[in-house]
Chain A
Amino acid sequence: MKRTTLTLVLVGVILLFVIAYTYSSEKNVLATAATQTKGPETIVLEKITNKYEPVSFSHEMHTGVAENCAQCHHTPPGENIACSECHGAPFDPTELNKPGLKGAYHRQCIGCHKDAESGPTGCTDCHAKKSEKK
């Protein structure tokens, strides 16, 4: 009986340590992500193409420019997941305050490019119009 409680306490303490460690390391990842993990080189954004061709997004170039991963991967902290994991297409009317995937992409790209006063902001600067190609 005593032995089992002891093991339980031990396991609990170890678990706590593990959680604390992962949490702190995640913070570390966040701070030095740009240098530690670079992620994919290029990503083709093609999930929601309609009138324009898919965008070939150079992730590599942006990791070099961005201060840290969180500048783009804003939430949840430390988890560098794709935009489409959270932002649905089309826009979810039950979550009015969260932009859909289309809005998330454009707000992120154009917003940052305008703030930085560099990078493309026009429609065809990133993706060609489909009808133009035909």
Chain B
Amino acid sequence: MGKKEEGKDRRIKITRRGFLKATAATGGISLFSKANSVVGVEKFTGAPDRYGVLTDLSLCVGCRSCEAACNEINNLPQPKVPFDDQSVFEEGRRPEPNSWTPVNRFSNPQDKNKPIFVKRQCMHCDEPACAAACLVGAFKKTPEGAVIYNEDVCIGCRYCIAACPFYVPAYDYASPLYPKVRKCILCYEKKVKKGEPPACVEACPMEVMTFAKRKDLIKLAHKKILEKPDKYVDHIYGEHEAGGTSWMYISPVPFEKLGFITDVSTTPYPEFARGFLSAVPMVLILWPALLIGFYMWSSSREEIFKEERRDDHD
């Protein structure tokens, strides 16, 4: 008799209601727990007062002072072809581990004598795909607007390189022992953190680039386009590309003719994975809980069944 009561007690412990309650609780916890603040799941649209840079491509003369200033401030080695040599424009260049901001030359369909020079570098997305793809959180969008990189935690998986919609990060294949991902960091520690313009912006003789609060730059860009509609294409590259970037361009020539990637989604790239990624912690907690619950329920049933059979024998 006593044994039978014990068995009943055990059955009460895992009732259907209790089981559902526990499942709902674990699910709830996993939904609202800290696991959700993992990079890639949380939304990091950037601080409202973040900085930006507006590049007016109608002004650049291709002197490469920005490239020289970049290498100087970041202690990058001197290039094989010196910075005052314009022969580099013969072929297109992409950001490299030792050249974070190459300038390329494009022919100007409006005026053959005035080629358009385009400086490339990290766009400093408001919601960076690199940061979302990074397994260890090596990339961070700072409140000032820069997307910075922590080489101490980087494991070299290069997911950031695959994730970047602008093909910016470069991998330091030349250093076999400690290869790192290399890209423009907007002179964060040395300049932008203190509210000063990046070295390239400061070095530019034509003041092609304007460093200011991003929201003010968008107003400025619209004003420039509105004042000279014949001079500029009615588009601010970076205002909506990849959900908005800190680095923006205005141009007298359509962007697709200047090597810009124009099929970039206006949806922030982390958004595509957010739904799936936010479900991962829930599945990881819910699924084991469900299986353990099922196991306990079935094993208790088995035990009760055995006990009942034993009682019958008695």
Q: Do A and B actually bind?
A: yes
Residue from the list A90, A96, A107 in contact with B206, Cβ < 8 A = A107
In chain B, positions 91-131 with a C-beta closer than 8 Å to chain A are: 113-114
Q: A96-B217, A121-B61, A123-B63 are in contact. Are A114 and B206 (CB under 8 A)?
A: no
B300 within 8 A of A: no
B224 within 8 A of A: yes
Q: How far is the CA of A103 from the CA of B210 in the complex (A)?
A: 11
Task: Please name the residue on chain A nearest to B64 by beta carbon.
Answer: A123
How far does the Cβ of A44 sit from chain B's closest Cβ, in whole Å?
Answer: 18
Q: How far is the CA of A99 from the CA of B224 in the complex (A)?
A: 13
Q: A107-B59, A123-B84 are in contact. Are A96 and B210 (CB under 8 A)?
A: yes
Q: Are A110 and B216 in contact (CB under 8 A)?
A: no
B220 within 8 A of A: yes
B6 within 8 A of A: no
User: Chain B interface residue count: which class?
Assistant: 20 to 34
Q: How far is the CA of A91 from the CA of B220 in the complex (A)?
A: 15
Q: A96-B217, A97-B223, A123-B84 are in contact. Are A110 and B206 (CB under 8 A)?
A: yes
Q: How far is the CA of A14 from the CA of B110 in the complex (A)?
A: 54
Most buried by A among B84, B205, B212: B205
Q: Are A96 and B220 in contact (CB under 8 A)?
A: yes
Q: How far is the CA of A106 from the CA of B207 in the complex (A)?
A: 9
Q: Are A97 and B114 in contact (CB under 8 A)?
A: no
Q: A110-B61, A114-B113, A123-B63 are in contact. Are A102 and B205 (CB under 8 A)?
A: yes
Q: Are B114 and A103 in contact (CB under 8 A)?
A: no
Per-residue CB contact flags for chain B residues 210-222 toward chain A (1 = under 8 Å, else 0) read 1110001100100
Task: Please name the residue on chain B nearest to A97 by beta carbon.
Answer: B220
Most buried by B among A106, A110, A114: A106
How far does the Cβ of A62 sit from chain B's closest Cβ, in whole Å?
Answer: 19
In chain B, positions 24-38 with a C-beta closer than 8 Å to chain A are: none
Residue from the list B84, B202, B212 in contact with A93, Cβ < 8 A = B212
Task: Please name the residue on chain B nearest to A100 by beta carbon.
Answer: B207
Q: Are A107 and B210 in contact (CB under 8 A)?
A: no
How far does the Cβ of A58 sit from chain B's closest Cβ, in whole Å?
Answer: 20
Inter-chain contacts of A114 with B (CB < 8 A): 61, 113-114
How far does the Cβ of B132 sit from chain A's closest Cβ, in whole Å?
Answer: 32
Inter-chain contacts of A97 with B (CB < 8 A): 220, 223-224
Q: How far is the CA of A52 from the CA of B224 in the complex (A)?
A: 31
Q: Are A103 and B217 in contact (CB under 8 A)?
A: no
Inter-chain contacts of A90 with B (CB < 8 A): 202
A117 within 8 A of B: yes
Inter-chain contacts of A107 with B (CB < 8 A): 59, 206-207
Interface residues of A (CB under 8 A from B): 90-91, 93, 96-97, 99-100, 102-103, 106-107, 110, 114, 117, 121, 123-124
Interface residues of B (CB under 8 A from A): 59, 61, 63, 65, 84, 113-114, 202, 204-207, 210-212, 216-217, 220, 223-224
20 A-B pairs (CB sep. < 8 Å): A91-B207, A91-B210, A96-B212, A96-B220, A97-B223, A97-B224, A99-B207, A100-B207, A102-B205, A103-B204, A103-B206, A103-B207, A106-B206, A106-B207, A114-B113, A114-B114, A121-B61, A123-B63, A123-B65, A124-B84
Beyond the given pairs A103-B206, A114-B113, A123-B84, 10 more chain A to chain B contacts, judged by CB atoms under 8 angstroms and listed by A's residue number, are A91-B210, A93-B211, A97-B220, A97-B223, A102-B205, A106-B207, A107-B59, A107-B206, A123-B205, A124-B84
